[in-house]
A and B are shown apart, each in its own frame.
Chain A
Amino acid sequence: MFKIEIQLEPKRKSLYEEAIRRLRSIYVSDDANTAPDARIVGPENAISNQGVPCLVDQPERIVSHTLASLIKSDSHIMPAHALRFSSRVKPIDEALRAGKLGKPGLMRLHYWATEGVSLKQAMFGPIDLARWFFQDEPSMRQWVETKHSLLCHLQFPSDGMALMNVSNPFEGEVAYESVQLIGATGAAYGDDHHNTHLHFRKNSISARIQHNNIMHGLMGLVSEFVDGILNDRDWNVTLKDTLRIHELLEELVDG
């Protein structure tokens, strides 16, 4: 059995526990006397957990100089780039890798965050996804920032393009997400608009979005993390990816 220790605040910890509960041959160890095979830690603990393979939750919150130190020290850390593993993105990614969509041409993403989410941090996942789909660095980068919106426009050397909008303009508790990938021979659409139920009440009607189950994304993340360790292979995401996205965000938003 593969033992994972989780050093996260209770809410995040319970999410990972629930995800790991659904995986075979992996369990969460709370026994302080037994050395874990790996840890899941928060961004604030990334630097203090060297020596044991670590999955760092919410890497968009790691500060840049910490990232540089971690890369320099050759730490065995997998950053949890969660959007790549989300249940909405996974079928798109698999179709792309299987050649069903042909050469990727345009990634389109809309994300309306819930209240209190930092727009810059919310753009971390979309930029990661664009680099992941196009497997390259953007050659053209444009950015429009307003009080409640970030609009990011990237172009890649292959002529592929990404158009991503992240917003948090209104006081809402429900996020909305839409991801499309238009390829040369096919296209994939992952859209909350499509996954919507209707809610009728007296004098009103509203939509209820069937949100993707976060558990499936976390299961994918943990599986990739553990599989990389057990098979002594590189993970499909590295701290260099994290650092590069931080650099792009700093260049675009802060620059």
Chain B
Amino acid sequence: MADPGKKTYRVLVLSVIKHAYLPDAVAAHPRFALVAVADDALRPDWTHERNQKYADMHAIPYCRNVEEAFRNFDCDIAVISSEAERHCDLAMRAVRAGLHIIVDKPLSPDVQECQSLSELIKQSGLKGMVWNRNFLPALIEARLALSEGAIGDLLAVHCDFYFSKDAGPPKETETMGSPPIDWLDRQLEAHADGSDGGVGTQPMGELQIEGIYPLAYINSICSSPFERVVASTATHFHQANVDNQVDDLAALSFVLENGVIGSLAIGRIGAASHPDIGEIKLHLIGTRGALVVSEARPEVGLHYKDQPKNEFKNIRIDNDNDFLLMDAFADALDCGTELPLDIETACNIARIIDAAQISANEGREVKIS
């Protein structure tokens, strides 16, 4: 129940055309109320269908004119869950209209757009957050242990981040001569199981789609900018990635400005490769000890006769990530506190990913500007 002494913030959903976990999380928090869905009139029909469906589910109107929605619904916040390539455009329009923003990950595949948004929001004094998983129980525990000095000063951070999901047909199973898989068609198909984070006309690799999650972990743990990175990438698993020349497996090694070293292994490794969502771990090494943290825990094992093959066998529990992120956003609006992943930090992460891609393409170490 909402605190009667505190304001309930009015939220405009700007395009909700992929997995809806972001606007759903906003709607679930008692300090926020979804007021309307809006998108541009000239979007394709499937976009309007999905927007309308979401609006109907929440019994709110769908407005096919973004600027009109800014004027008519008296909202405080815009929540953006469009194609990643449209995130920054919609976010900048919302900021110019005086709205705080919450943007789904990744901030944008275009670093320059990220930079422009970062500068604009800084000038505006408004708040902006990119969706993240920094408040998963295991991440909270890891930061708590570090802050208590459990391992002394941090020397190294290594992250494994594998999603054991499929992405259409496996590599090299398409018959010779068949047309390449269209990226957008594949993503639209993936909507059924919620694995359409890369939806859009611009193909994105796994590092670009999901890399912000582990890099945000590392940022929250290390609190230092990256200095340099070396990366290797491959299209190892999925034909859609091969046909669209975007990675599905990547390895990064890096050095932070504070001298901490680290690495990241990330990939969409196929559903057969892990019993649950994937092996996601942090290895933290300090001057007086070390920590191995499993991102999935705590969890409860569940096994039964005729269990569907694709059902997770371990169920995550005690996950307050969505609630705590929105709590942090409410606090930022109420009192000006810091956000767990603000636009500037997300922009810096976009720069790391961009540098990693240059490194992988050119086979050399790249300094982060």
| Residues of chain A having any CB pair with chain B under 8 Å | 103, 105-106, 108, 110, 112, 140, 142, 144, 146, 148-149, 151, 153, 155, 159-163, 165, 167, 169-170, 176, 178, 180, 182-187, 189, 192-193
Contacts and interface: CB of A to CB of B under 8 A. Distances in A.
B156 A165 contact: yes
Given A163-B265, A184-B237, 16 more contacts: A105-B269, A108-B160, A110-B283, A142-B230, A144-B255, A148-B155, A149-B155, A151-B261, A151-B262, A155-B363, A159-B234, A165-B156, A170-B288, A180-B160, A182-B162, A185-B272
- The 6 A-B pairs with the shortest beta carbon distances in the complex, nearest first, are A187-B273, A159-B234, A105-B236, A155-B232, A153-B253, A142-B230
16 contacts: A108-B160, A144-B255, A146-B156, A153-B263, A155-B363, A161-B251, A163-B253, A165-B158, A165-B283, A167-B155, A169-B285, A170-B286, A184-B170, A184-B236, A192-B292, A193-B292
B93 interface: no
A144 B236 CA distance: 26
Contacts of A167: 155-156, 285, 290
B122 interface: no
Contacts of A183: 273
Contacts of A161: 232, 234, 249, 251
Contacts of B290: 112, 167, 169-170, 176
A193 B263 contact: no
Nearest to A152: B253
A8 B272 CA distance: 45
Nearest to B231: A153
Given A142-B253, A169-B290, A149 B285 contact: yes
Contacts of B253: 142, 144, 151, 153, 163
Given A144-B253, A169-B285, A110 B236 contact: no
A106 B294 contact: no
Interface in B222-280: 230, 232, 234-237, 249, 251, 253, 255, 259, 261-263, 265, 267, 269-270, 272-274, 279
Contacts of A189: 279
B349 to A, nearest CB: 19
A106 B156 contact: no
Given A153-B230, A159-B236, A182-B267, A146 B292 contact: no
B64 interface: no
Nearest to A207: B292
A112 B236 contact: no
Contacts of A184: 170-171, 236-237, 270
B280 to A, nearest CB: 12
A176 B151 CA distance: 15
B336 interface: no
B335 to A, nearest CB: 36
Contacts of B274: 187
Nearest to A101: B273
Contact of A185 (B156, B170, B235): B170
A184 B173 CA distance: 12
B180 interface: no
A153 B232 CA distance: 9
